[in-house]
Amino acid sequence: MTHTFTRAALSLLALFVLAGAALAADPGIAYPSTAEASDQKAGSVLYYNAYTSSASASNAANSRINITNTNSTFDISVHLFFVDGSNCSVADSFICLTRNQTSSFLTSDVDPGVSGYIVALATDTQGRPVNFNFLIGDEYVKFATGHAANLGAVAIAAPSAAEFAPEVPATDPIITVPLDGAPGHYGRVPRVLALDNIPARADGNDTLLILNRVGGNLAIGASTLGTLFGILYDDAETAASFSFSGSCQFRASITNNFPRTTPRVETFIPKGRSGWMKIFSLSNIGILGAAINMNTNADASAGAFNGGHNLHHLTLTAAESITIPVFPSGCGGGV
């Protein structure tokens, strides 16, 4: 049987988390639980936009995943889902975080030979999603192509504890959680993404674009991107549109081969110039992504740089959800 989270009365579990929120308070104004997905906040769900690992050359292609429980009162179980970007299959495991604990691992140790993205979701010890807006994370990722960056994990928060409790028994094997921002559900996710600066390839830049579909049944496989639409702008406000298709993850360098525009990208953004783009689906799906630039002249040229960042979120969708398998985490204590 599949259950969906609904708004529920304040439960003992919600009381535990609410007490934890009060005891773990820091100076300043707390981020509201209604704040939308961001890599600058804590949440109950984290999306790591890219990971890779080589089974034979982990020194050249690998990722270090970092995750922290910022709550000073409660331990937490975190369900990790490793989504293969090529075929959308999912492998999963749990990590147990005590109060104030941070943990790191290499993907070459846990999922060698695979590239994709990671979803981390706070659960109780029975594996059911809970309101625990205290998870933060980031990753260091390096590809065999030379692209490397430190990317913050994008956090999605649950609503206040008084409005959030699962109305399902611990024995249910599947739970679907809407990402629509409604009371009792998780926050909304981006629909339109923007890459704010694309440096000219003729200046030695190789910009790697990464896009991920949010949503799907993580018990059997992630949803796919399908056909996406984009608009490329140069620095003189000239626009050119394009379309392309992707699996659950799309990853490609911005070249004359992608995106296919008229004129081609390297003509549209010539040497010494720059541009930007925005991307979305006409099917009202949620997407996340990142961009990593590599310039082989970075050590020799003052204007050449390496690095990356998550894409900007321009608009949101309230039409997404994630479905997860539910089974005990094996973590002791906690919520």
**What is the per-residue pLDDT across 66-87, written as a single tens digit (0 to 9) for each?**
999 999 999 999 999 999 999 9
Q: What are the φ/ψ torsions at residue 21 (nearest 5 degrees)?
A: -65, -40
What pLDDT shows up at residue 52?
98
Tell the CATH topology of 190-317: Hypothetical Protein Tm1070; Chain: A (2.60.290)
Tell the CATH topology of 2-188+320-325: Hypothetical Protein Tm1070; Chain: A (2.60.290)
What pLDDT shows up at residue 218?
97
- How buried is 69 (Cβ within 10 angstroms: 0-12 exposed, 13-18 middle, 19+ buried)? buried
Q: What stretches of the chain show up as alpha helix (H) in DSSP?
A: 12-23, 107-110, 265-268
pLDDT, tens digit, 9 for 90 and up, residues 242-268: 999 999 999 999 999 999 999 999 999
**CA separation for the pair 208, 14 (Å, rounded):** 42
pLDDT, tens digit, 9 for 90 and up, residues 139-182: 999 999 999 999 999 999 987 654 444 444 556 789 998 999 98
Q: Do domains 2-188+320-325 and 190-317 have the same CATH topology?
A: yes
For the segment 305-317, the average pLDDT, to the nearest whole number, is: 97
Token output for 142: 């390096």
- Residue pair 272/301 in contact by the 8 Å Cβ criterion: no
Give the domain ranges of the chain: 2-188+320-325, 190-317
Tell me the CB-side half-sphere exposure of residue 286, using CA atoms within 13 A: 23
What pLDDT shows up at residue 184?
79
- In the three-class reduction of DSSP (H, G, I as helix; E, B as strand; rest coil), residue 202 is classed as helix
pTM summary value = 0.91
**CA separation for the pair 322, 214 (Å, rounded):** 8
The residue ranking higher by pLDDT, 31 or 62, is 62
Confidence of residue 17 (pLDDT cuts 50, 70, 90): very low
Element holding 141 (H helix, E strand): strand 135-142
Question: Checking DSSP bridges between strand 154-156 and strand 221-222, what pairing results, if any?
Answer: unpaired
